Every structure is written in structure tokens, then in C-alpha cells.
Structure 1
């Protein structure tokens, strides 16, 4: 870059920071008027500048920023490999598809094999099981933590069960160390869906490092964002290679875009029924996809990554304020962290008790009218959703608590954009609602 270009670039980025200041006016919170969203991205001038800087370099595909983020994020979670994708949903699809790779030989998953998962959650933890021709085995959860238990998972294992794929509920870790140990004992794969749990710990270890593979989402609702985006992480280099191939059209070559002959034998391969010397850049070892992200998204994610610690602290602070303020609310079941965990909370779940004199809808309507955003605990009992009617699955035990979640559970926000003043207003609003029904 010439001195003139570098100077121009510096001026542009300085103007971006100035522009951000003109756009970022102090917002005065007005109770009942200012919306309190349950989730959302928290972006600053550095994020805006990161996007513009990547745009100035015309980073229109995955490249240097993507590789830099993958390396930094893998280090953050203490893992060897991270592969960016275009969404957390794609990350889940890639993780499970990698376990079906022919490269795993006899240990790979095959159509018809069973995968244990939770019935109450977000569909994209379950969808890849069906999309890969596998069979979901649904287990129930505990109310309060909204996670399943290792005992429920163990009880669900059958002759065809080959894998476990579970998400941390609203950032609250499930018994992930015990599930990982169970999977190892039974020679099963374990995919840890960490999309809602980045920054959480279980027994002092960060979530995302317990599974054979783990997944993350960078959608704006999540702990850090790239707009759209996701990631697959692993310590297993063989699995990492399958993820990369499946993400990148299924090709056998591992050259980055714009690179050539990294392996030093581009025209020396003999694979499949292809002629000797067929260009390795166009040899495909998987029926894959194109699920890559762009450097623009990676640049934003890289900027956000530096704020992860502060974001997690804010989520914990807001959750604690809600929990303390609502303690003793007899008509509500309040959330609890899983023992031995320190969640980086995604949301604050509330379950209306069966004996309460009001319904969930009564409470949701009241809060929404006061501009307090609410969300249900995602899909509730997935087996009752229209998308899964007629699909092949197995249920282990009863799904009693998943049905309770479907009928009586919702959550409110704790994301870093919510201030202590907003949280206090949420507490007082819930208290006011409960007082209307007291006695």
C-alpha cells in the first residue's frame, strides 16, 4: 500500500469513528415507551470501522480476516480448529454431516442410526439429524434449569444409538462433562451445541470444548455477532478436515481461495475413477455444500470477540438482578443454574405454575404492553410442532416437562444492551402484574 493510500485509508476510518459518534446519541430510557428487546446485537464505533476497513480492502469472500478470526476464536475456547460458516444452523449441519464422512470408515454414522437430543429447544439442533437420514431420540428436561440430565440420556440409549447432540438451554450448561464421559464409555459421538452458551463454564471449563465437535452461532441475538454466521470447533484434526471439505463444496483440496498447490502435488493425485493427475482443486471427496462466510462478517466477529468477556459479565449481572428482584414470587418457577456451572445467560426463563390464577398469555400480554419483549422457550415440545408430524423419531420416557414448557414457559432478556434501569423496570413490572392477582 502506498503512503498516499495508507493516509487516505486512515482518514476514512477516522471519519467512520466521527460518523458513529453523530449517529450514537444518548438514549434516555422511558419506562413503558422505550422497547426492551429480549435479545440483540451491541455494536460500537470499532465494529463499524472494522466493517468499513474490510470493505476498503474489498474482502468480498473468505480470506485473511476469516483465518485470523478462526485462529483467535479457537484459542479463546482452548481448541485446535475452528471453521467459520454462514450460520449456526449450518454449523450444526456440518458437524453432524462430518460424522457421516467415509473418511471415518467403520466408525462413521449411517442413515438410520439414532441420535439422542432434547425435545424442548431450537429446531436447528434437531433438523440436521433428520436431514442426514438419522433418527432423533427425544428426552425430557428438568424445569428450572431447562436442561436434560445424564441419567435421561443414558436411559435413552438403544441398540442403534450412535451419537448425542444437545444444546445448552438459554446459556445454562447441561451436565456436559458427564454426557461427554458417557459418550466415550459407550463409543458414541457427542456434538455440543454451544450456540447459546459462549462464555459459560461447567466445572471451571468453558463450554464448547467437551464434544467431539461443538457449534456456535453469531446471529445478532447471540453472545457476539457477525450479522449472520456460525462456527464449528474441534480438537480432532480428522474431523476438522471433514468439516472443511463439506463446508467448501465437498472438495478434497485444502488450498485457501486464491491459493494453489499447497500440497505440492496438485497434478499428482489418483482418486476415485478419475485419471491420474486430475487437478486436485477439482476433486471432490464429499457431497458437500458452500456454507462459507465472508471477510466482512469475519471482520465484525473479530471486533466483537474482544468484547466477549464484558458482554458475558453484563449478561450475568442482568440475570442476577432479575433473579434477586423476583425471588419469592410464588406463582412463578424461577430459573436456576445447573450445579457446578457459571452460565453466560442467553435469557431469563419464567414458568407459570399450574396453580397460578393467571395464564402465560395473561403475563406475556401485560409485559408486551409495557414494551418488555418476551419470547417462548423456542419451539417448546418439538414433537408437537407441525414440521415434525409424521417424521420418524423415538421418545425415551415421557416428555412431561417439555409439555409444561410448551404451555407455561417464556423468557425475557438479559443481553448486554439492557441496562440496570431497564432490568429494574422489568422486575417492578412483573411484581405489579403479580400483585394484581394476589389474593
Structure 2
């Protein structure tokens, strides 16, 4: 019986053709024609004027935080329920993450809690769209305008998702994407920063390239940046993937619909499935998550699936419960019960673009057998 990994990417377009072109022409490093083309076409697809390709999504966050001059003593409001990357970028800049709990329905940050967290030290709101549904952006945009705050929009998981018809990744002063292999579009590793602000775009380009001075002596530096460049090979792969984005979104929709139909009985047993839609978006099913009615039940299901060689992943662990941040003295005595329940009881099933129909059927049949 072959294993079913939690994610399998799909390469059935021009990936090999474009990669071969890179090798045959010798353009394999961070200089090459595919980089500018990928930046242009991805930014046009999402909406903002400028794209800056980088080495990964975490690099994009590091650059975004520094480009907005967020530094020691500043506060950034963000969800506690997310991958560690956004909080890490804030902390390593010397700033303080100020956390909010999750919405129990969408699993995103609870936007109704944000305003109470704003202080004179607040510099930005870092929005992270989670798992398939977007954050309710209108209240965030209103607060940013009211308090003159910047918005960093983490749309790493939201390739092709919309909020009220407008693409996610087009709302932030700076928005970031990831192209890790489990994303709708992958470059192996890789990321992108999008913005409508030319000065910010140029600032991000400088920061990704060790802060070389565009008009000065080449190896004379006036500030520190990073080597966070994307390679021409990665950009070639990303461009081929972008050409198939509509097809990829359809595949994800079909996977989500099958899981929703086959596993709907779980809701009667106290499980929570992803919400198919909200007033402002349909779920694009980046992953198909399940919240079990208790951690022991979750663990038994995960163990049962593993015995049948079916991969799963736990949900994100809350930022206020991360040992690394607790050891820094952050988030003392803070509690976020909705996020804690998601982190403890949530897991997701195989959801990759390369998931075959027979594998999807096997996952649902095995899960039903475990539950029964």
C-alpha cells in the first residue's frame, strides 16, 4: 500500500521547458529574465503594481517589517494562531507582537479584538489569512486609516483567494506570499512581496540584495540587509505554475467538496470542518482541516491514519505558548482560548494538488473506519 503524503505538488505544465531554458542559457542564479517576468505577471494577477521576488515567505516578512521601519519598542498586532514566521520577523526587528485570539468559525484572527489592542506604540497590523478563508479585511482597513497604521498582509496561503471580489494580497501596504511546495504555486522555496508604493518596492529590492547601493561603489554598504534573492530557476518554475493557477484552484475546490460531502457526518459527532464560505469569500481549501472534540480523539485519529500510511499535519501552535517566546519573557499570563482549542485539537488531511482521486477516496474510507 503506497503512502499518501499530506502534500504532493503538481508539475504538468511548462515547468520542465522553462527550467531547461535556464540551464541551456546558463541563467540559473539571481540574475535572469524569468525573475522580472515572474514578478510582473504575479503582481498583475494579484493586483498591486510592483512585485519583489525573494527566497521564501519568511524572508518576505523580514523585509516587509524592516522596509516599514518597524523597530525596537514598536508594537505590531497579529494573531496568536499562525505559523511562527510573522512573530519571528517582528521579534527579531526588536518590536513586540501584540496578540489577538481567533474567530471560531473562520479560524482567522478575530478582528473585533484588534482595536482594544491599539496603543500609542502600535505601528502596524499584521494580517495572516489562515488555511483557506481570508480575514475580514474591511474592519482592519478602517482601523488602519483611523489610527494611521500600516498593514502587512500575509497571504502566503491565499494564492487566488478573494475578499469581496478583490484578490488577497492586494490590501496591505506590503503583502507577502510563500511559494513553498504545499502552496497553490510553488517554486520549491521562494516568496514575493507586493506593493503599490514604488519607494517601498525599491526599498524591498535593496534589502533583499545585501543593501548594495544602486549608484555607489559596489562593495560599499551603508546599512545591513539580507541575501534573500530568488533564483532564475525558481522564477521559471513559478511562472509555469502561475500559468495553471485557475486549474489548480479548481482541483482544490473539488478536493474540498469531496471531503465536505464524505465527512459531513463528523459534525454530528462534535467535529468542526472548514466553513465552505462566508459573506465575503468562498473557501479555496488550501488545506482541509478538522477540529476534533478533544485532543485524545485527535491523537487516535492521527495515529490510525499513520498506521495506514496516510499523512496528516497538526494545526499551528499558538504564539503565546511557544517556548522560545516564553523564554524571552513575552506573553506572560496571556490566554487565547479559541486559538488554544484549534492548536490542540486541529489537524489537516492530505490536500495537495497531486492528490489522486483514488487516494482521496482511500483517505475518507480509512477515516470513516477509524471513527466507527
TM-score, normalised relative to structure 1 = 0.80
Q: Please, which of 80, 91, 95 is the counterpart of residue 119 of structure 1?
A: 80
The alignment status of 1:57 with 2:25, answered yes or no, reads: yes
Q: Please, which of 90, 93, 107 is the counterpart of residue 59 of structure 2?
A: 90
Q: How does 1:296-315 map to 2 (within 5 A)?
A: 296-315=233-252
Runs of 4+ in 1 over 6 A off after TM superposition: none
Return the offset for 1:207: 0.4
Q: How does 1:7-22 map to 2 (within 5 A)?
A: none
Return the offset for 1:110: 3.3
Structure exhibiting the larger radius of gyration computed from Cα positions: 1
Q: Please, which of 126, 129, 147 is the counterpart of residue 168 of structure 1?
A: 129
Return the offset for 1:333: 1.3
Q: How does 1:37-52 map to 2 (within 5 A)?
A: 37-44=5-12, 46-52=14-20
184 and 282 in structure 1: CA distance in 2 versus 1, 3 angstrom threshold: farther
Return the offset for 1:432: 1.7
Query: How far apart, in 1, do the equivalents of 2:29 and 2:353 lie?
Result: 30
The answer (yes or no) to whether the contact 2:304–2:370 under 8 Å persists in 1 is yes
40 and 176 in structure 1: CA distance in 2 versus 1, 3 angstrom threshold: farther
The alignment status of 1:369 with 2:307, answered yes or no, reads: yes
Q: Aligned residue for 1:5? A: none
- Alignment RMSD, CA only? 1.9
SS across alignment from 2:192: strand
C-alpha distance after superposition, 1:267-302 (max 9, x if no partner): xxxxxxxxxxxx354554532111101111111111
Q: Please, which of 333, 342, 348 is the counterpart of residue 405 of structure 1?
A: 342
Return the offset for 1:382: 2.1
Provide structure 1 residue ranges, at least 5 long, that are not aligned to the other structure: 1-32, 101-108, 254-265, 267-278
C-alpha distance after superposition, 1:32-85 (max 9, x if no partner): x22222223211362122111111110132221101111111111111100110
Q: How does 1:116-265 map to 2 (within 5 A)?
A: 116-253=77-214
The answer (yes or no) to whether the contact 1:85–1:91 under 8 Å persists in 2 is yes
Q: Please, which of 252, 274, 281 is the counterpart of residue 335 of structure 1?
A: 274
Q: Aligned residue for 1:3? A: none
Query: How far apart, in 1, do the equivalents of 2:222 and 2:239 lie?
Result: 31
C-alpha distance after superposition, 1:3-39 (max 9, x if no partner): xxxxxxxxxxxxxxxxxxxxxxxxxxxxxx2222222
The answer (yes or no) to whether the contact 1:334–1:350 under 8 Å persists in 2 is yes
396 and 250 in structure 1: CA distance in 2 versus 1, 3 angstrom threshold: farther
How many pairs were matched up?
Answer: 368
Return the offset for 1:338: 4.0
TM-score, normalised relative to structure 2 = 0.93
Query: How far apart, in 1, do the equivalents of 2:2 and 2:279 lie?
Result: 36
The alignment status of 1:347 with 2:258, answered yes or no, reads: no
